[in-house]
Structure 1
Amino acid sequence: MLSTITIIKYFSISWFVIYSTLVLFGSPLLNDILETVALTTFITLVTVLPILRIVPSENHLVDIISNFPDTSETSPAEITRILVAIFAVLGLWISSALYPLDWDRWYQRYPIPGFFGTFVGALVGLAAGTFNKYTGRLFPDSSKSTKKQCLIIPKTELFLHSIKICLKNQMKILGYPVGLDHINYGRGRYTFNMCFVVAWDSNADSMYEPIVQKCAEYLIELEQEYNFLTNNIYQDQVVKLINFMFDGLNSKGESVVGLQIDDQNIMLYFKLCPSYRGIEPPEVNAYMVPMFIRDININNRIIEKMDVLSQKIIPRIDGIATVREISNLLQLDVSLVARCVRNLHFYECVSLVPMFLYSNTYVATERVHDFYMNQTEITDCLEFVKIQDSSLPLPEFSDVFRLYLSMKCGRKLLDWVKEEKPRQMRIDEHRFVQFGMHHQFLRKLTIYPICLIPPQEKTPKNKLLCSCNGKTSLEELAFENNLDPDKLYDLLEESKKFEFVMK
């Protein structure tokens, strides 16, 4: 919010500009000065003051004026007040048509038509702004995406009821509980948790979680400095903070909230994390394998800072276990583990590699030649791919490098293992393949089943047959039908009704 001095400054400038404009357009210069002053003050109060009371900063006010009618950076509340000002001025201009008429009526006397036209125009602008706020038809860009973003902003939902209603409506709750210890609090501790509620099928976790944490940090600082949450005199300020942040994040993906505490103007800034390099993190299915990109020393001090879900999941990520295997091990829902892994991928903590299957076909890439010259990768590789038995020495690099080069198109991994016998060289083929996929020494050829049954014999009830069209991969089919990909491949191959394309 603008300071009182700033509001007075802009109000005075606006008053002088409006007064000068009225005189230039025909208002008396020397006669009826009081009437002109009264009309100028009324117009300024109706058009300028509401806008000054809502904008968070001078820069934002300048952006609104310079960018209009582009409203991509303007909130619905600001649009409403701008429409009130525009229609009020339009009503003032239309009402001036009454002055030159010779009806000799009392309502034609200056400045009565000006007051009436400004008031009616403001009411029309208020109606138009309200209509736009709830439908978005007048300025649709203001409620969708900004120019700076390349995705539709995921919306939060404002729930004033219990958590049971959120669960009933399949909503996700993102929170950051905080406990502050001090002798001034009842029982020596004050706890709070400001939550964001988003639709269950939304992918907004990675975008809103930093906002949730940042908001908690702001509130901790404000509470410790001014007792912002526990002092009743700031209750209206708390509500203002929540409403401004809610409207700004939903309409523009960012929000600037001004608070006035103890005669100090405090600005709080919130902005949604944009999509990583303009692309949303990939969807994580149950058969993907997460692998850490960088070394993370998982100790008790770091684990204590994580949320409860991450505390359980992160220690189980070893580059071998799939999302489903992790969920089965921890007895958690697959979707919860997938969302946690997706967030880790967003922050470049893990990469995702396909599930290891002996029915897969892997081929070496040109990247394997760079591997030969990178001593760090060689050391990491030998340590990772060895059979996990401390009594065995590390495998020879020459054997590892030769095995990567032997990966060729047309040979399944099972046949490759039988011919090359990597375990005789102290190499675990599972870890060998996962390391190659992670560092892009290998590329997996994806299998796409094609059903040979004529289209007229396929029924809508049999979704599997309809999905085997050469466009859906074996892993996707397995995930949709809750089957192990190897078992599904064997079933399709045994039926003799499918062909398989690898690419």
Structure 2
Amino acid sequence: MASTSLENIEDKEQEDPIRCIFFVEFHHIAGPKITCQVPDNYISKDIFDNVSVYIIPKAQLQRSTITITLKDYKILGFPVKIDDKKYARNAFYFNLCFVCDANARTVHYEPVVKKMSDFLMALEIENCFLSATDDKTRLAEMLAQVMQDLNLHKMCTLTEGTMTSHLKVVRLAPEPKPVLDHQVPIFLEDRDTFQNDQWDLTTQQVLPYIDGFNHVARIAAEADVENNLVKSCVQNLVYYGVVTLIPIFQYSNVYAVTPKLRKLPDDVKLQERCIAYASKLARQPAHFRDIYRMYSSMTYGVSMKDLCQRLNPQNLRINERRLVQFGLIEGLIRRVYNYPVLLPGASCSEEAKNNPIYKYFTGTYSLDEICCSTGQSAAQIEDIIERDPNVLMIWK
């Protein structure tokens, strides 16, 4: 799973190269102006004049990451002010800017822009590298090297005199999808492997209720934390790889195997982790053949209740709830969701007219979502569906 995520990140970064790097300084008479850019004239004077007030901003925005999006460009900069009486107006202002396509993701370039700006500031303080002359040949060579190396290798080493700076584009995980009420957060590693105090107070309040079975809405209620705050906390934990999200466990659930189940018989380490995770007792672990038989028996039309009655996992020393958890985390199985649909054109009964739950019978809400939204149990909703011949259940 991690390798797939990393491949997606790498592909995304390949699609978002640096198109241009330019250097702006504030002239005490002419105002902000581009004194060096690679490639030449990529940013025209007209475009620059439209945004120059943001490139060399007011004092309160100095040393802050600034992103400006135009029609075709996204400009990322880190304006710097060096106070010294030797400069006109007693200060030297500059900004090193990266330019990408307007729809590019640039957050992974922010630390690079800041670090390179700090390097140029150190050179300026040390020997007036930026302000001593109008000849920006050496600076242009630096900008060209940085753009080429970062686009090709995601890293670059700059050396000027006795000073060196190592620049590296750190790969960032994509933003996680919004967290939904009916989703269940589960730890990817033992919760004792990290310290609670490294998280904010709200997250610390939520963490004890993350057990792999409580869904987000229930966690919010039990932790007495506002629902949207819990979602934000869980989304943050997903981003940092502490938890992942799985469906609610119920014995009426139906699961189906995925192609990844094929690797379980051949991957010894995965087998060992699966046995340790799904066994009822560590001192008497379940047999792998029994675990594999349970997984391979999961298919459309077979609920967990049916499976447990047929195979009796308790006698096999298998904890069926944890077996499902492990299968979902590793992608060996997937949940088959059920979606109630009111047939179009069907004449509504009095119950249908008066029961607000029918507004969810559109085929776009799963039974899990309906349960969380209405507070009714799956059995109650299924009873309504069974009594109304105009409502069908779609499994997918």
TM-score (norm 1): 0.49
Give 1:438 deviation, angstroms.
1.2
Residues 359 and 296 of structure 1: CA distance in aligned 2, closer, same or farther (over 3 Å)? closer
Q: From the two aligned structures, give the one with the greater helix fraction.
A: 1
Letter in structure 2 aligned against 1:258: V
| 1:78 matches 2:59 | no
In structure 1, how many angstroms separate the alpha carbons of the residues matched to 2:97 and 2:222?
41
Question: In the alignment, what sits opposite 2:32?
Answer: 51
The Cα offsets for residues 204-240 of structure 1, whole Å up to 9 and x where unpaired, read as xxxxxxxxxxxxxxxxxxxxxxxxxxxxxxxx84x23
Q: Give the deviation of 1:435 after TM superposition.
A: 0.9
1:291 match: secondary structure: strand
Q: What SS does the aligned partner of 2:79 have?
A: strand
Unpaired stretches in structure 2, ≥5 consecutive residues: 1-22, 85-90, 99-105, 110-170
Question: How far is the alpha carbon of 1:261 from its aligned partner?
Answer: 4.1
Structure 1 position 257 matched with structure 2 position 150: no
1:62/1:285 CA distance change after superposition, 3 Å: same
Q: Using CA pairs below 8 Å that are at least 6 residues apart, which structure has the higher relative contact order?
A: 2
Of 27, 32, 43, the match for 1:67: 43
How far does the alpha carbon of each residue in 1:246-269 deviate from its partner, in whole angstroms, 9 at most, with x for none?
A: x63687584412122457879799
CA shift for structure 1 position 370: 0.4
Corresponding residue of 2:236: 343
Deviations 1:45-80 (A, max 9, x none): 6xxx2333xx7xx55x66794234896xx6964289
CA distance in 2, matches of 1:295, 1:255: 41
Q: Is the 8 A contact 2:24 2:94 kept in 1?
A: no
User: What is the match of residue 285 of structure 1?
Assistant: 180
Aligned to 1:329: 222
> In the alignment, what sits opposite 1:489?
382
Change (3 A) 1:345 1:439: same
How far did 1:454 drift?
3.4
- Sort the Cα spacing of 1:380 and 1:324 in 2 relative to 1 into closer, same or farther, 3 A: farther
C-alpha distance 362-69 of structure 1, shift in aligned 2 (>3 A): farther
1:248 to 67, 81, 95: 67
Once the 2 structures are TM-superposed, how far is the Cα of residue 486 of structure 1 from its aligned partner? 4.7
CA distance in structure 2 between the aligned counterparts of 1:483 and 1:75, rounded to whole angstroms: 60
Corresponding position: 1:383 with 2:205: no
Structure 1 residues 429 and 419, CA gap change in structure 2 (3 angstroms): same
Q: CA separation of 1:3/1:332 partners in 2, compared to 1, >3 Å: closer, same or farther?
A: same
1:272 partner amino acid: V
Task: Name the CA distance, whole Å, in 2 between partners of 1:373 and 1:70.
Answer: 63
Distance 1:368 1:394 in 2: 20
Give the letter for the 2:79 counterpart. V
RMSD after superposition = 4.0
C-alpha distance in structure 1 between counterparts of 2:273 and 2:54, whole Å: 60
Correspondence list, 1:133-282, <5 A:
237=59, 239-241=60-62, 245=65, 248=67, 252=74, 254-261=76-83, 272=107, 280-282=175-177
Q: CA deviation at 1:383?
A: 1.9
**Percent sequence identity over aligned pairs:** 23
CA contact (8 A) 2:181 2:369 kept: no
2:319 paired residue number: 428
Distance 1:260 1:462 in 2: 68
Q: Which has the larger radius of gyration?
A: 1
**Aligned-pair distance for 1:502?**
0.8
TM-score by length of 2: 0.61
Map of 1:431-446 to 2, 5 A cutoff? 431-446=322-337
Cα deviations across residues 80-118 of structure 1 (Å, max 9, x unaligned)? 99xxxxxxxxxxxxxxxxxxxxxxxxxxxxxxxxxxxxx
Q: Are the equivalent residues in 2 in contact too, given 1:320–1:434 (CA < 8 A)?
A: no
Q: Is the contact made by 1:451 and 1:469 (CA closer than 8 Å) also made in structure 2?
A: yes
| Cα shift readout 1:464-483 (whole Å, capped 9, x = no counterpart) | 43432333322233333344
3-state SS of the aligned residue for 1:368?
helix
The verdict on how the C-alpha distance between 1:303 and 1:498 changes in structure 2, with shifts beyond 3 A counting, is: same
Aligned to 1:370: 263
Structure 1 or 2: more strand by fraction: 2
Would the aligned equivalents of 2:62 and 2:78 in 1 still touch at CA under 8 Å?
Answer: no
2:254–2:303 CA contact under 8 A, matched in 1: yes
Please tell me whether the aligned partners of residues 360 and 445 of structure 1 are also in contact (alpha carbons under 8 angstroms): yes
Cα distance in 1 between the residues matched to 2:237 and 2:40: 37
Q: Does the 8 Å CA contact 2:25/2:95 hold for their aligned counterparts? A: no
User: Which secondary structure state, in structure 2, belongs to the residue aligned with residue 434 of structure 1?
Assistant: helix
TM-aligned CA distance change 1:334 to 1:260, over 3 Å: same
The answer on whether the counterparts of 1:360 and 1:444 sit within 8 Å (CA) in structure 2 is yes
Task: Give the distance between the partners of 1:481 and 1:273, measured in 2 at CA.
Answer: 41
CA drift of 1:279 comes to 6.2
CA spacing shift, 1:394–1:68, aligned 2, 3 Å: same
Amino acid at match of 1:441: L
Native 8 Å contact 2:275 2:285 kept in 1: yes
What one-letter code is carried by the residue in structure 1 that aligns with 2:256?
Answer: V
Change beyond 3 A, Cα 1:457–1:385: same
